Amino acid sequence: MIDAVTLLKRSGAMLEGHFILSSGRHSNRYVQCAKLLQHPDKAALALAPITERIREAIQARVIAVDAIVGPALGGVIVAYELGRQLGLPAFFTERDDSGIMTLRRGFEVEEGMGILIAEDVITTAKSSLETAKALEKLGARIIALACIVDRRAEGGALAALPLYAAVKIEATNWDEKDCPLCRQGVPAVKPGSRKMSLYAISENQSATVS
C-alpha cells in the first residue's frame, strides 16, 4: 500500500515557503491536503491506515465512536471518508455569520454521543477545539481526534485525547511577531480556508517527516 507521505508528494500537497496558517501563526512549511483529497482514490488510500487503527481501538473497547465530525472546510472530506470506511455517520461543523463554529444544516447530536473529530491537518487544533466546545454544549462527548497530517507541538489544545494520524511532520511555526521569515522580508501567502487569500506559490515538495 502507498504511504501517506508518497501520496501527499505525488499530489503536490507538500509546500515550502512562507505561509500564514489558518490559526494566524507563520510557518516555513504548508501541507495543502485539498490537493490530495480532490482525488477520491488517493483520499481513500491515505485514510485507510487511520481507519484500521480506529477500528482496532473500537473493537478493543479503547474508544466508543458514534459519529465522525469534521470542521469545515478541511475536515469535511476527511470525516466523510472515515465515516464511509468505518460505517459510521459523518457530518461537519461550520462557522456562522459571526465566525463561531456551530452545528447547522439539520445535523444533530444526542446526549452522551461519542464523537471523533477529523481534520486534514492539525497544527494548533484550533478548529478541533472550537468544534469540541460546540458539540459538548449539545451534550456530546469528544472521544478522539484523527487527521492526515499531525503538525502539533507537544502539549496544546486537546493533547489528552487519542490522535490517529497518517503522518507526523515536524511543526515549525511562529507568532507573527517572532517570525524570522517576516524579518527577512520573505512575502507570506495564506493558502488556508479561513479568510483565504490566493497567491501564486512555488510547490517545492520536500519536507521533513518523522
Residue 182 grid cell: 517576516
Confirm whether 45 is domain-assigned.
Answer: yes
Confirm whether 209 is domain-assigned.
Answer: no
- Which of the four pLDDT bands, split at 50, 70 and 90, describes residue 178? very high
Q: Is the pLDDT of residue 100 over 70?
A: yes
Give the per-residue pLDDT at 205.
Answer: 33
CATH assignment at residue 98: 3.40.50.2020
Average pLDDT of span 122-150: 94
Q: Is the pLDDT of residue 18 over 70?
A: yes
Give the per-residue pLDDT at 172.
Answer: 79
Average pLDDT of span 172-198: 79
- Judge contact between 153 and 124, C-beta under 8 A: no
Confirm whether 152 is domain-assigned.
Answer: yes
Residue 27: C-alpha distances to residues 48, 56, 118 (Å):
28, 34, 22
Give the per-residue pLDDT at 192.
Answer: 64
Confirm whether 190 is domain-assigned.
Answer: no
> How many domains does one find in the chain?
1
Domain with 61 in it: 41-170
Confirm whether 82 is domain-assigned.
Answer: yes
Lowest mean pLDDT among 46-60, 105-119, 178-192: 178-192
Confirm whether 139 is domain-assigned.
Answer: yes
Confirm whether 8 is domain-assigned.
Answer: no
pTM, to two decimals: 0.80
Confirm whether 22 is domain-assigned.
Answer: no
Residues 6+ apart with CB under 8 A from 146: 50, 54, 68, 78, 82, 116, 117, 118, 119, 163, 164, 165
